[in-house]
């Protein structure tokens, strides 16, 4: 018998890809309705869970069976219960609760944009009415609201803080700039660890800064944080700063535009300062099949931005060097899905 080619395309594979949106829809719906919080109260049948959720018996039965069909719930003896791992990942308050990233990754804007992906491919640019090239893009607010305190963000924030700290023990204060601060987690992680830190949380979206201010109060770092609205590519950045952190910004622009921002940050830093950047990146020597995430993320950038896309490791090295930084190095962590790039201001 000839051996089956594991890489061969089959009807079964196509059907799996074709119905992928159903899995996404089920996951989003179950988190939105609080299904896992209801089941966490104890295994139960359809009637009991419908009462806990305040949903119809028919709709609940169909939803629960569909979740069980794809392994997101367990069904046995007429009752539904959590599968292993769900208590940590899908129940609110779980140690690795992933509800925020699910809300981000299955956002309505992206669903609508994916319907028009072919148009974006033809044009080579967004076709939606609102995009990430403007500060009033609603998704920025969604990102800020749902990325704080989640494993989606904290692992990378902890990695950056590990790489930037400790700082000069002789300094009376440590001036820190968080560019495109979003929920604020990257700068706040540094401020929480370093009591000498004075943080400037910089973002161009008012809705985002409002979320960051609320988080700063909750984390008790607001008294050491200045919130500044502006376009980091064009507006004054203040300074000088000892440390700069920037997450999920550079992939929104072309490599040359990103290098221009890095030059501006270099000029805003004290000699001997250090910068830590987080984002999607890839090695050009590795097949997309062996590292798919950055290449799939590039679709989002195609639909959201005029020039953005994930930059390769070689491109990042060029951008930092072009901007005047030295000692460019790349770091990864098992707690983060993104790499961190660290460099020095000579």
136 touches 130 (CB < 8 A): yes
Comparing 81 with 95, the larger pLDDT belongs to 81
Angle, CA 137 vertex, CA 135 and CA 138 arms, to 5°? 130
pLDDT of 337: 77
Q: Is residue 246 within 8 Å of residue 277, measured between CB atoms?
A: yes
- Pick from 185, 222, 178: nearest CA to 200: 178
**Region of residue 336 (left: phi > 0; alpha: psi -120 to 50; beta: else):** beta
Q: 54, 69, 92 — which closes off a domain?
A: 92
Number of domains in the chain: 2
Judge whether 51 lies within some domain: yes
Q: What is the pLDDT of residues 159-216, one digit of tens each?
A: 999 999 999 999 999 999 999 999 999 999 999 999 999 999 999 999 999 999 999 9
245 and 148 both lie in a single domain: yes
CA distances from 343 to 86, 190, 210, 258, 318 (A): 39, 17, 30, 15, 12
Mapped onto helix, strand or coil, the DSSP state of residue 145 is helix
Q: CB–CB of 322/263 below 8 Å? A: yes
Q: What's residue 335's pLDDT?
A: 73
101 within some domain: no
Q: Is the pLDDT of residue 57 over 60?
A: yes
Which residue's structure tokens are 């500044």? Answer: 228
Are residues 158 and 244 located together in one domain of the fold? Answer: yes
């Amino acid at each position: 018998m000839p051996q089956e080619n594991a890489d061969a395309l089959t009807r079964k594979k196509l059907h799996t890809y074709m119905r992928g949106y159903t899995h996404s829809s089920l996951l989003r719906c179950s988190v939105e309705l609080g299904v896992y919080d209801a089941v966490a109260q104890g295994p139960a049948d359809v009637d009991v869970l419908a009462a806990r959720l305040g949903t119809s018996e028919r709709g609940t039965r169909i939803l629960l069976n569909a979740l069980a069909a794809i392994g997101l719930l367990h069904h046995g003896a007429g009752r539904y219960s959590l599968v292993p791992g769900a208590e940590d990942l899908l129940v609110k308050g779980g140690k690795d609760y992933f509800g925020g990233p699910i809300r981000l990754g299955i956002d309505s804007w992206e669903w609508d944009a994916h319907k028009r992906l072919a148009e974006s491919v033809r044009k080579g640019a967004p076709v939606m009415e609102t995009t990430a090239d403007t500060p009033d893009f609603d998704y920025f607010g969604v990102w800020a609201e749902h990325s704080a305190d989640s494993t989606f963000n904290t692992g990378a924030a902890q990695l950056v803080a590990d790489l930037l700290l400790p700082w000069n023990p002789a300094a009376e204060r440590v001036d820190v700039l968080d560019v495109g601060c979003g929920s604020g987690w990257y700068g706040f992680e540094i401020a929480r660890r370093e009591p000498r830190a004075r943080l400037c949380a910089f973002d161009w979206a008012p809705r985002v800064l409002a979320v960051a201010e609320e988080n700063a109060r909750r984390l008790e770092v607001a008294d050491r944080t200045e919130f500044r609205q502006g376009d980091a590519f064009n507006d004054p950045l203040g300074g000088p700063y000892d440390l700069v952190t920037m997450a999920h910004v550079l992939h929104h622009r072309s490599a040359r535009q990103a290098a221009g921002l890095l030059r501006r940050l270099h000029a805003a830093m004290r000699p001997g300062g250090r910068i830590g950047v987080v984002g999607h990146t890839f090695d050009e020597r590795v097949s997309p099949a062996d590292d798919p995430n950055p290449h799939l993320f590039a679709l989002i950038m195609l639909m959201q931005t005029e020039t953005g896309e994930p930059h390769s490791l070689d491109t990042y090295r060029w951008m930092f060097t072009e901007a005047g930084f030295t000692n460019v190095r790349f770091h990864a962590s098992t707690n983060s899905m993104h790499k961190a790039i660290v460099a020095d201001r000579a």
